[in-house]
């Protein structure tokens, strides 16, 4: 039997308590002492370096997605993939070719006016010179209202979408398991009906573009379209929400960085990339080895699950230099892996960046100063790097 290096703290990667605090010291210790280590329960390799995560991501012929992308899915079999992220070529190639036209930069640009109007309305309602919970007032409703508009749904239903999204992320919701399952079924039924409606009566919107897209006469089935809409609803709001919550919190904790960003608006694109690196909205995803292979000096056996810890890779000194543990909006280059790498690179990356840019632009006019004014409550999810509450103060001067 092959030797499997085990780090005594590796199991903490799957503990909710780790993410209620600061996981950065754990990541640093794993990178330094056992960058590829075996976690006995439930049994997977943890890859914590930028080079290791990139290597796994760029070789889908060696590390597949179809056997699960979460630790909770180890050993599970799906008759139908729950998301496009759970597929490999050729199925993944087909899905991507069919839906990618709806997310090309030119399509995203058409959404900017609508996204700006949504952001402006929410920013106008934010209190100034007194504490405000940035999460409930801005980070949660903003991407959900954007997604609702993209789906052609009633924007006022965003709170229902929020409940559906939360129960889809293991560890994100405190609701009883049976209630979570019922809400997941509600979401599937709603989005299946929406998919059917768009297929029968297309509109001039993103969902209709995806529903009617064809390649050589092929198009998504209604079940596949519903599957994709679930991914759009959940991933499209969860990641942007936590990018905004964590990124704006990082700026509030560093007043000099906020002042610099306001003084030099041209730094906004770099600031967004640094927010993505620093927050890493998706903490980790899983792959499964299709063959026995080498990862660095470690032999990975066929069938072994491999966890790519993006949040650690984004702090790797080997990739980001001696300032890797510092938040710096001037950082360049910034080869973060927050959107993934390779064939599973996030389809919604351009939309997320645009949403963040719109919010930073509006917030820079709203708040000359920005600082932490109260409670910061983090999510216990081991998958999404979430913040449940962030009391900040937007200063008028």
Q: DSSP readout, 272-285?
A: HHHHHHHH-SB-EE
Residue 265 in 3-state DSSP? Answer: helix
Q: Which two tokens stand for residue 276?
A: 């993505």
In the prediction, which pLDDT does 21 show? Answer: 94
What mean pLDDT comes out for the span 75-88? 90
What residue ranges define each of the domains in the chain, with the CATH number in brackets?
10-395 (1.10.630.10)
Per residue in 202-215, pLDDT (tens digit) is 887 777 878 888 87
What is the arithmetic mean of pLDDT over 90-106?
86
Whole-structure pTM value: 0.95
Confidence band for 165, pLDDT divided at 50, 70 and 90: very high
The answer to whether 358 and 119 are in contact (CB under 8 A) is yes
Does residue 1 surpass a pLDDT of 70? no
The percentage of the chain sitting over the pLDDT mark of 90, rounded to a whole number, equals 79
Tokens representing 233?
Answer: 């609803």
Label residue 333 exposed, middle or buried (CB < 10 Å: 0-12, 13-18, 19+).
exposed
Length of the chain: 397
Q: Which of 15, 3, 78 is nearest to 41 (CA)?
A: 15
Structure confidence by residue, pLDDT tens digits, 317-374: 999 999 999 999 999 999 999 999 999 999 999 999 999 999 999 999 999 999 999 9
pLDDT digits (tens, 9 = 90+) for 5-62: 999 999 999 999 999 999 999 999 999 999 999 999 999 999 999 999 999 999 999 9
pLDDT band, residue 299 (cuts 50/70/90): very high
**What integer pLDDT is reported at residue 2 of this predicted model?**
64
**From residue 352, how far is each of 186, 295, 339, 372 by CA, in Å?**
26, 32, 10, 24
């Amino acid at each position: 039997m092959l030797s499997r290096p085990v780090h005594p703290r590796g199991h903490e990667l799957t503990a909710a308590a780790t993410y209620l605090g600061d996981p950065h010291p754990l990541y640093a210790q794993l990178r330094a002492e056992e960058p590829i280590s075996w976690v006995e329960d439930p049994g997977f390799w943890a890859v914590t370096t930028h080079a290791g995560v990139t290597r796994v991501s760029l070789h889908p012929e060696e590390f597949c997605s179809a056997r699960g992308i979460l630790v909770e899915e180890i050993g599970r079999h799906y008759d139908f993939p729950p998301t496009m992220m759970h597929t490999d070529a050729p199925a993944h190639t087909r899905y991507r070719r069919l839906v990618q036209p709806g997310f090309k930069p030119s399509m995203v640009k058409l959404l900017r006016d609508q996204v700006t109007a949504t952001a402006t309305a929410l920013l106008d309602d934010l209190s100034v010179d007194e504490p405000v919970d940035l999460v409930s007032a801005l980070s949660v409703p903003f991407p959900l209202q954007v997604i609702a508009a993209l789906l052609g749904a009633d924007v006022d239903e965003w709170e229902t979408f929020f409940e559906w999204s939360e129960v889809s992320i293991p560890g994100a919701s405190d609701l009883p398991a049976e209630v979570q399952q019922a809400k997941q079924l509600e979401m599937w039924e709603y989005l299946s009906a929406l998919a059917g409606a768009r297929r029968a009566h297309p509109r001039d919107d993103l969902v209709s573009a995806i529903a009617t897209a064809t390649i050589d006469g092929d198009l998504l089935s209604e079940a596949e379209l519903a599957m994709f809409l679930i991914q759009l609803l959940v991933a499209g709001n969860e990641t942007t929400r936590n990018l905004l919550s964590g990124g704006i919190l990082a700026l509030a904790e560093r007043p000099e960085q906020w002042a610099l960003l306001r003084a030099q608006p041209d730094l906004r694109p770099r600031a967004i990339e640094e927010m993505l690196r620093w927050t890493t909205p998706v903490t980790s995803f899983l792959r499964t080895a299709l063959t026995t292979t080498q990862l660095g000096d470690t032999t990975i056996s066929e069938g072994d699950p491999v966890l790519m810890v993006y949040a650690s890779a984004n702090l790797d000194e080997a990739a980001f230099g001696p300032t890797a543990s510092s938040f710096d909006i001037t950082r360049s280059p910034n080869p973060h892996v927050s959107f993934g790498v390779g064939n599973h690179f996030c389809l919604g990356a351009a939309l997320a960046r645009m949403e963040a840019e719109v919010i930073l632009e509006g917030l820079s006019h709203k708040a000359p100063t920005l600082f932490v004014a109260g409670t910061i409550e983090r999510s216990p999810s081991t998958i999404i790097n979430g913040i449940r509450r962030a009391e900040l103060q937007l200063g008028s001067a």
